[in-house]
Amino acid sequence: MLETHKSRAEVRDHILMIAGSLFATKGVNGVTLDDVLEQADVSRTTLYRYFRGREELLAEHLRRLDIPSRNSLVEAAERNATGPRVALLDLFDALGRWFRKPNFCGCIFTNTSIALSASPRHPAHRAAIAHKDGVRAWIRAKVEELGIAGTEEGVSATEELSDALMLLEKEPSSPLLCEET
């Protein structure tokens, strides 16, 4: 078994990496702890040494991906941007390239928020929403830089445009997209 050859940190990272790959390809609800145990080649005792269960494993996976994923999006959007308008356009160009990749299985954050929408207190649902809120905050900041003013019924044009752009940011996928591949 793997745990006899690795440090504690390496075993934990390995379990997270395997679980993350499974969640991405099988969907959030399509992965059992037995799947993770088999693929990671660790005992149940070892897994429980690091995680209280599947719920915590998924939430930790999402928390670990959050900042690097957002940074990657922002970097792609701002790499050649000459202003907020170009940065927003480049964000969607980068997302479009990602969506067209042959191994694209959907955004794990979007898939998780959809799969767990009936469980808003689930730690993984909260982690997914926190990620989306971070992306929304970046979009809102760029929209504010554009200087669009005006309000309608108490909602600012910045909020309306930011929310509309977040809807566009959601890729055309479902949590089940990769199960058939």
Mean pLDDT of 97-126: 91
Per DSSP, which regions of 121-181 are E strands? 151-152, 155-156
Q: Could you tell me which of 66, 5, 57 has the C-alpha nearest to residue 36?
A: 57
The answer to whether 146 and 85 have CB atoms below 8 angstroms apart is yes
> What amino acid occupies position 129?
I
**Could you tell me which residues are beta bridge partners of residue 152?**
155
The full set of domain ranges for the chain reads 2-180
112-135 pLDDT, tens per residue?
999 999 999 999 999 999 999 999
pLDDT at residue 132 in the model = 92
| Domain 2-180, CATH among 3.40.50.300, 3.30.499.10, 3.20.20.70, 1.10.357.10 | 1.10.357.10
- Average pLDDT taken over every residue of the chain: 85
- The CA R_g of the chain, rounded to the nearest whole Å, is 19
